């Protein structure tokens, strides 16, 4: 089997971006339920988008920042998700996992190798940069980590590299980090919250080509 790499396109708000992610074979598509985000969608908007995802298409991930149970329930009462990307501490993330019975990917902001988790009870980890002090959201800031810090890391769960990735730097990011999967949002936008179908196509194509040439990248199969 040729090496492959998981690709997630996050922060989808419009059919054009979602359709491009589906057409070019994204593994996951993400929807942001965080009101301060320029990529925020309501449960009803997400339902309209998610209805476009065909059976056997990308898995549908809902992104929540320190959510209440009610906030997650409001989405799950309206549409279907396959997994949750959660910005919260270990205990809260585990409580959400138990309460909703969906795979939980916990987002972890890191600045150095010492910040990489040695243990995890999650289904997956989203490894991304810490937000700048001025940021009003914990992710989606287009900020990259030092990609070399994950080399030699014994990841305690499947993980995905996020933060500041673009079609132009994803090849270098994969080569340096040995990430088994990549996640992009702002790097495939023409403006905050507006995905560019051509950038999505180029990002997926480049990530896949790079992985095929790099034996370091291995298949990523989270829940």
Ligand X SMILES: O=C(O)c1ccccc1N[C@@H]1O[C@H](COP(=O)(O)O)[C@@H](O)[C@H]1O
Q: Does 128 bind ligand X (CB under 6 A)?
A: yes
Residue of closest CB approach to ligand X: 140
Q: Does 186 bind ligand X (CB under 6 A)?
A: yes
How far is it, in rounded angstroms, from Cα 183 to Cα 105?
12
How far is it, in rounded angstroms, from Cα 51 to Cα 130?
33
Residues in region 42-81 near ligand X by CB under 6 A: 63, 65
Q: Does 187 bind ligand X (CB under 6 A)?
A: yes
In whole angstroms, the minimum distance from the beta carbon of 166 to ligand X comes to 8
**Which tokens sit at 200?**
């999505």
CA torsion, ordered 15, 18, 19, 23, to nearest 10 deg:
180
Q: Does 106 bind ligand X (CB under 6 A)?
A: no
Report how many residues bind ligand X under the rule CB under 6 A. Answer: 27
Q: Does 37 bind ligand X (CB under 6 A)?
A: yes
The only residue of 53, 165, 178, 211 in contact with ligand X, by rule CB under 6 A: 165
How far is it, in rounded angstroms, from Cα 163 to Cα 181?
12
Closer Cβ to ligand X, 189 or 208, answer by number = 189
The only residue of 62, 109, 158, 163 in contact with ligand X, by rule CB under 6 A: 163
Residues 61-77 as b/e (b if ≥16 CB within 10 A, e otherwise) read bbbbbebeeebbeebee
**Which tokens sit at 56?**
């056997």
The only residue of 34, 159, 203, 220 in contact with ligand X, by rule CB under 6 A: 34
Q: Which stretch binds ligand X (CB under 6 A): 50-58, 76-84, 157-165, 205-213?
A: 157-165
The count of C-alpha atoms lying within 13 angstroms of the C-alpha of 136, restricted to the half-sphere facing its C-beta, is 5
**Which tokens sit at 103?**
């795979």
Do 94 and 82 form a contact (C-beta atoms < 8 A)? no
Where does this chain bind ligand X (CB under 6 A)? 10-11, 30, 32, 34, 37, 39, 63, 65, 87, 126, 128, 137-142, 162-165, 183-187
């Amino acid at each position: 089997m040729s090496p492959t790499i998981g690709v997630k396109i996050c922060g989808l708000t419009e059919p054009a971006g979602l359709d491009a992610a589906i057409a070019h074979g994204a593994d996951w598509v993400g929807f942001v339920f965080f009101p301060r985000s320029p990529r925020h969608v309501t449960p009803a908007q997400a339902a309209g988008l998610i209805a476009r995802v065909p059976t056997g298409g990308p898995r549908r991930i809902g992104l929540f920042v320190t959510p209440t149970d009610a906030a997650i329930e409001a989405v799950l009462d309206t549409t279907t998700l396959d997994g949750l990307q959660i910005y919260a501490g270990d205990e809260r993330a585990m409580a959400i996992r138990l309460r909703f019975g969906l795979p939980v990917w916990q987002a972890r902001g890191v600045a150095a190798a010492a910040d990489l988790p040695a243990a995890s009870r999650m289904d997956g980890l989203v490894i991304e940069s810490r937000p700048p002090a001025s940021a009003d959201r914990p992710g989606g800031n287009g900020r990259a980590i030092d990609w070399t810090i994950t080399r030699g890391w014994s990841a305690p769960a499947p993980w995905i590299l996020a933060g500041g990735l673009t079609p132009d730097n994803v090849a270098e990011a994969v080569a340096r980090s040995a990430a088994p999967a990549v996640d992009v949002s702002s790097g495939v936008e023409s403006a905050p919250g507006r995905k560019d179908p051509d950038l999505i196509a180029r990002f997926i194509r480049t990530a896949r080509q790079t992985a095929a040439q790099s034996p370091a990248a291995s298949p990523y199969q989270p829940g």
